[in-house]
């Protein structure tokens, strides 16, 4: 009767080399994917910046709407933190120009305010927004105020 002898087999060295090569290949594939798809993260940042510019333009637009047709132009870049009171908005600036008014037959005046939003002192605006202004809005507000005073 032959006794089964347990013989320890040594693993050949090529298995270690194979594992190292497989790791190297996986690293090269991962690097390739990063090069191909890594640019998508910059698109996300650009979209976030554009969205912020749009929101700031709408905020300045609300300010101009409240001032109505008597709003004064802001032709030099002004930091948005003066409007929002938030220190995070220091790197955003705005300007707005108001077109000459046109008057209809009823004496209502119509103007357009063009708001431009800049980031970090750039010369080209990141976002441009047009806000219609009219004296008609002021008349409606004053009429509704009279209704509440009755």
pLDDT in tens, 91-134: 999 999 998 888 888 888 888 999 999 998 789 998 999 999 88
Residue 51 and residue 59: Cα distance in Å, rounded? 12
Q: Which of 88, 12, 33, 30 is nearest to 55 (CA)?
A: 88
Considering only residues 148 and 117, tell me which one the structure prediction assigns the higher pLDDT: 117
Considering only residues 55 and 141, tell me which one the structure prediction assigns the higher pLDDT: 55
Inside any domain, residue 89: yes
Q: Give the chain's mean pLDDT.
A: 81
* pTM given for the model: 0.62
pLDDT band at 3 (very low <50, low <70, confident <90, very high): low
Inside any domain, residue 31: no
Tell me how many domains the chain contains.
1
The domain in which residue 98 lies consists of: 47-148
Inside any domain, residue 6: no
Inside any domain, residue 131: yes
């Amino acid at each position: 009767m032959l006794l089964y002898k347990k013989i320890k087999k040594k693993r050949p060295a090529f298995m270690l080399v194979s594992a190292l090569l497989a790791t190297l290949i996986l690293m090269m594939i991962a690097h390739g994917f990063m090069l191909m798809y890594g640019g998508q993260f910059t698109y996300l940042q650009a979209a976030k910046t554009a969205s912020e510019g749009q929101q700031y333009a709408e905020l300045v637009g609300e300010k101009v709407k409240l001032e109505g047709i008597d709003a004064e132009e802001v032709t030099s870049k002004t930091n948005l933190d003066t409007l929002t009171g938030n220190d995070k908005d220091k790197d955003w600036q705005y300007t707005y120009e108001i077109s000459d008014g046109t008057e209809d037959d009823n004496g209502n005046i119509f103007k357009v305010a063009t708001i431009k939003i800049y980031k970090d002192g750039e010369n080209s605006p990141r976002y441009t927004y047009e806000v219609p202004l009219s004296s008609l809005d002021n008349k409606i507000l004053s009429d509704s105020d009279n209704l509440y005073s009755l």
